[in-house]
């Protein structure tokens, strides 16, 4: 019995050592996808479901074509799609620490509650990541994924055009299940400054009943998902 217990402990120790020796990668952190590999990242949560395919274009640069189906915008119910690409530049890497510059650019089409067409510049954003024991990645940073929206068929009470300027604080983590497979969770929270031209929605007018064209909303974003290297 004692020999069996020692054998199990030895096996457990080997698994722990093997797990910690996994060369961690991160598709949501500051690092770019390893050269010679491509990566697929799929996330779901609020306000969207998305898929991004990460392609290295240099030692410190990657591009990730991305398709998104969204069912919320800030705290409103808005349904539509985004088609674009994430761009990431690794600015600095030393041991376990990394710093990256990110953009999340996209063409935006909303079709509920009204038709709207826009462009998300998607940046800039700064991401700091830290690798723990070769198996965990902790991510923090800030993103400003601002964009512009036009309303081609506009009722009188909706602005013809507005700009969205979110200031999102990022907190996330990524866990290596194997050399090529990760689980991740990412939280992005902050204010979204809406600057509208024309007459704003009645519900968002000030106490005097007038619209000054600018208001601030809360933008909650949370996604869970998997990332995989090919």
Domain ranges for the chain, please list them: 2-229
Q: Rounded to whole angstroms, how far apart are CA atoms 142 and 190?
A: 9
Give the pair of three-digit tokens for residue 146.
């601002």
pTM score of the predicted model: 0.82
Interval 97-141: pLDDT, tens: 999 999 999 999 999 998 999 999 999 999 999 999 878 899 999
Cα 206 versus chain centre, distance: 33
Residue 60 pLDDT: 94
Pairing state between β 168-176 and 125-132: unpaired
Give the pair of three-digit tokens for residue 199.
């007459």
Give the least confident one: 3-17, 38-52, 82-96, 169-183: 3-17
Interval 7-27: pLDDT, tens: 434 434 433 444 444 457 899
- Domain 2-229 sits in CATH 2.60.40: no
Find where tokens 């009645």 sit: 202
Residue 162 pLDDT: 87
Strands (DSSP E) contained in the chain are: 39-46, 48-58, 61-70, 79-94, 97-112, 116-120, 125-132, 136-143, 147-150, 161-166, 168-176, 181-197, 214-229
């Amino acid at each position: 019995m004692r020999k069996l217990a020692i054998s199990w402990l030895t096996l457990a120790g080997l698994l722990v050592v093997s797990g910690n020796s996994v060369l961690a990668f991160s598709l949501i952190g500051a690092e770019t996808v390893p050269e010679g590999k491509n990566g697929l990242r799929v996330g779901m949560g609020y306000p969207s479901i998305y898929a991004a395919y990460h392609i290295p274009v240099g030692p410190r640069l990657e591009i990730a074509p991305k398709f998104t189906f969204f069912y919320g915008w800030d705290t409103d119910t808005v349904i539509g799609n985004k088609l674009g690409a994430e761009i990431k530049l690794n600015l600095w890497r030393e041991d376990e620490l990394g710093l990256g510059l990110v953009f999340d650019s996209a063409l935006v089409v909303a079709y509920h509650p009204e038709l709207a067409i826009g462009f998300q510049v998607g940046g800039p954003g700064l991401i700091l990541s830290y690798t723990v024991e070769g198996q965990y990645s902790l991510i923090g940073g800030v993103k400003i994924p601002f964009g512009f929206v036009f309303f081609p068929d506009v009722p009188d009470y909706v602005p013809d055009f507005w700009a969205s300027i979110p200031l999102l604080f990022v907190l996330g983590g990524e866990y290596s299940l194997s050399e090529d497979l990760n689980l991740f969770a990412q939280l992005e929270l902050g204010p979204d400054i809406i600057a509208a031209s024309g007459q704003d929605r009645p519900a968002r007018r000030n106490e005097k009943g007038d619209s000054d064209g600018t208001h601030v909303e809360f933008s909650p974003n949370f996604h869970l998902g998997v990332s995989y290297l090919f």
